[in-house]
Amino acid sequence: MKKLLALVLAGAVLFMMKASADANVITKTETRQETKIGADKYTFQDFINVKWIKEPVLSPDGKSILFTAEQKNLDKNTAFSKICILNTETGKIKAITPEDQKSMSGRWSPDGKKIAFVKVEKGNAEIWTMDTTGKNAKKLTDTAFGASGPVWSPNGDKILFASEVYADCKTMQDNKVRKNAKEKSKVKARIIEELPYQVFDRYRDDRYSHLFIINTDGTGLKDLTPGKYDCPPIDLGTDCDYSFSPDGKEVCYVTNTDENLSYSTNNDLFIYDLATGNTKRITENKANDSGCIYSPDGKYIAYTSMERPTFEADRRVLTLYDRETGKHQKISDDFDRSILSFRWLPDSKSLVCNADNDGFTCIYNININGDVKKLSDNNTDDSPFASADGKTVYYRSHRTTHPPVIKSVSLENSDNTKVVADINKDFAKFKMNEPEHFHFKASDGQEVQGFIVKPYNYIEGKKYGLIYLIHGGPQSSWTDDFHQRWNTQLFASKGYAVATVNFRGSTGWGQKFTDEISGNWGGRPYEDLMEGLDYIIDTYKFVDKDRMAAVGASYGGYMVDWIMGHTDRFKCAVSLSGVFNTVSEYGTTEELWFPEWEMKGTPYNNRELYEKWNPINYVNNFKTPCLVIHGDEDYRVPVSESKQLFTALKRNGVPAKFLNFPDECHFIRKPQNMQLWYSTMDDWFKTWLKEK
């Protein structure tokens, strides 16, 4: 679940203001005043109009950066994306694909003269190539279920990509024939024989993601990973799970070959010899291994590895595979942070990566001897890559008060940082309050971190209602970021203070801190949240303790349900896609390794722990009015959880409303649905948090 996590409310918004003098409670605070504050009020329409920088990639000559610019369209209820080129010397940006299309995942050819990209037409995504001017576009693939993730070979004559297929179909044409037959059949029933039969927001329908190779003239299509395996893996992969060796003779890729994927996290690395067709496994670790990038000199393959099987939130350690000796070296083992994305520097002596750290996501340089150097701080930074001369690192950066930009930092002098691309330059016109980063000591002595943001048009001495956001995952964290769904500034623009606490289980404070939620869902994390709330009320006198809302999604939704059974200090609640019944959720989710790790077994052999942390057992204590939200296409935490919650609330006479989306999954993503989601929450808060 963390992957959603760490994707759901996850990582999103946030904040905190004025420090307490009580040394036993707070250890440090930080308020940043970097953003130019304007006067205009920030609205949902402004949020929808944000242009999102994604997938930045540096050109081979280091003079240009290719990136995807995505923007939602409220009227058409979708998002459009275009591919842009940034000149790193002049700062000029040029779009090379049309505004009203869906083009993404641009990748430079090795000589920098061509671009491979993904283009969506009539709902189907295929790989295309074009000149760097955007001209001479040519469709390269013609698949049954779409193509993604183009990767050029070193000499530019071949491209790797991923596409779903039926495992027993021999050709792409066979896949098309079967697909068409299924679509035309009036019988829509499924015969299911394997787990998982659903993945996140879709049925598998006997399809698997395979790795293909094709010549750039469109010939020579070949499936490199036949059989009932997925590449990239269906879960716990990275942004680079297949790549060519520098000499172009082999391909490394990641897949999970265990028989029962629903309770296995055992992704492994494999090498495919392009001349012989032979495949060999190069990792034997029973826990998760993912990502695979060859060093420029061809000596190593870098990847991340975990230690504990079936645990999706174990620490990701940056590891090197020596291609000559076959030995594996963990180079970030002494760095108690989990490595996210990573890329080699040109000299093959170090890598740049990002990792969560104390409420932020920072860029680091790690050399092959394990020495770690922080290159960025106090933002949410990702997608790092080095310049051709190895002197500059480029990365994507965003904060609560500003959408993503592209920045650069000198590898020698981390103080030498600058913005090289900002496609939302007019954002400074909005009046937004900076988040404050604070720490307090929990009752067991552990330091816990959080954020708070003052409401729009804050007036000193006035009391404000509080939106208390609880992140999902649960092994994720709130960071100072500009979130695509849970956007702090939208809540603040309505006149509320917004706060969060990174309770036990959050990432960025070491693996021990992360581990302390497993088997303890309603225990220490709940105590951290309540003690954090006490600290907020005591420290920030503008918070009205009689007008507070508990809001969360995924695990955050679970915690909202748990809170309703254990305290009535909140005036209202919002529970989105939350686990309400730990027993029934186990039998309906698609990733069984998650509850089996978190609850130390199945409900068949460890029912006591499932029941100990089961919100349904405390329904008779529920008094807090609750807005319940869920999408029917959510297969991670199925909609039946929210149906049970809503029924329990209404049956016990607790004020409740159920906002149900038939066309959404674990996230609310469609623009008009997002508009309804935010407006419904706003109405709920106006009803229950109104001033007396």
pLDDT in tens, 272-327: 999 999 999 999 999 999 999 999 999 999 999 999 999 999 999 999 999 999 99
pLDDT for the residue 22? 33
Show the domain range for 589.
Answer: 6-43+428-688
Tell me how many degrees the CA angle 622-514-540 measures, rounded to the nearest 5: 60
Q: What percent of the chain has pLDDT over 70?
A: 95
Average pLDDT over residues 140-169: 97
* Structural domain contains residue 179: no
pLDDT one-digit tens code per residue, 443-491: 999 999 999 999 999 999 999 999 999 999 999 999 999 998 899 999 9
- What does pLDDT average to over the chain? 93
Statement to judge: residues 65 and 36 lie in one domain:
no
pLDDT for the residue 692? 77
* Structural domain contains residue 436: yes
We report the CATH number of the domain holding residue 20 as 3.40.50.1820
Structure tokens, 157: 């004559």
- Whether 4 has a pLDDT exceeding 60, the answer reads no
Distances (CA, A) of 653 to 581, 619, 621: 19, 11, 11
* Structural domain contains residue 71: yes
* Structural domain contains residue 340: no
Average pLDDT over residues 216-240: 96
Continuous segment of H or E residues that includes residue 557:
helix 555-564
Average pLDDT over residues 165-169: 96
Statement to judge: residues 485 and 552 lie in one domain:
yes
CA atoms of 392 and 65, how far apart (whole Å): 13
* Structural domain contains residue 322: no
CA atoms of 604 and 579, how far apart (whole Å): 18
Asked which of 139, 169, 194 is the last residue of a domain, the reply is 139
CA atoms of 465 and 502, how far apart (whole Å): 20
Statement to judge: residues 36 and 130 lie in one domain:
no
pLDDT for the residue 205? 94
Distances (CA, A) of 382 to 1, 33, 87, 394, 407: 21, 22, 20, 9, 10
Q: Which residues of 171-203 are buried (b: 16+ CB within 10 A; e: fewer)?
A: ebeebeebbeeeeeeeeeeeeeeeebebbbbee
Identify which of 408, 502, 375, 344 has the alpha carbon closest to the alpha carbon of residue 89: 408
* Structural domain contains residue 206: no
CA atoms of 539 and 451, how far apart (whole Å): 12
Statement to judge: residues 36 and 63 lie in one domain:
no
CA atoms of 379 and 12, how far apart (whole Å): 12
- Whether 590 has a pLDDT exceeding 50, the answer reads yes
* pTM to 2 decimal places: 0.93
Statement to judge: residues 36 and 64 lie in one domain:
no
* Structural domain contains residue 128: yes
Asked which of 104, 123, 139 is the last residue of a domain, the reply is 139
Statement to judge: residues 64 and 13 lie in one domain:
no
- Phi and psi torsions of 600, nearest 5°: 60, 45
Q: Residues 364, 382: contact at Cβ < 8 Å?
A: no
pLDDT for the residue 27? 35
Residue that the structure tokens 């052999």 belong to: 605
- Phi and psi torsions of 559, nearest 5°: -65, -35
CA dihedral 216, 219, 225, 229 (to 10 degrees): 90
pLDDT for the residue 157? 97
Average pLDDT over residues 629-652: 98
Statement to judge: residues 18 and 134 lie in one domain:
no
- Whether 35 has a pLDDT exceeding 90, the answer reads no
Q: Classify burial at 421, counting beta carbons within 10 Å of its beta carbon; exposed 0-12, middle 13-18, buried 19 or more.
A: buried
pLDDT one-digit tens code per residue, 233-273: 999 999 999 999 999 999 999 999 999 999 999 999 999 99
Statement to judge: residues 37 and 71 lie in one domain:
no
Statement to judge: residues 542 and 648 lie in one domain:
yes
Q: Which amino acid is at 347?
A: D
Q: What percent of the chain has pLDDT over 90?
A: 92
pLDDT for the residue 1? 61
Length of the chain (residues): 692
Number of compact structural domains in the chain: 2
Statement to judge: residues 449 and 549 lie in one domain:
yes
* Structural domain contains residue 14: yes
Statement to judge: residues 473 and 553 lie in one domain:
yes
Asked which of 89, 118, 139 is the last residue of a domain, the reply is 139
Statement to judge: residues 593 and 519 lie in one domain:
yes
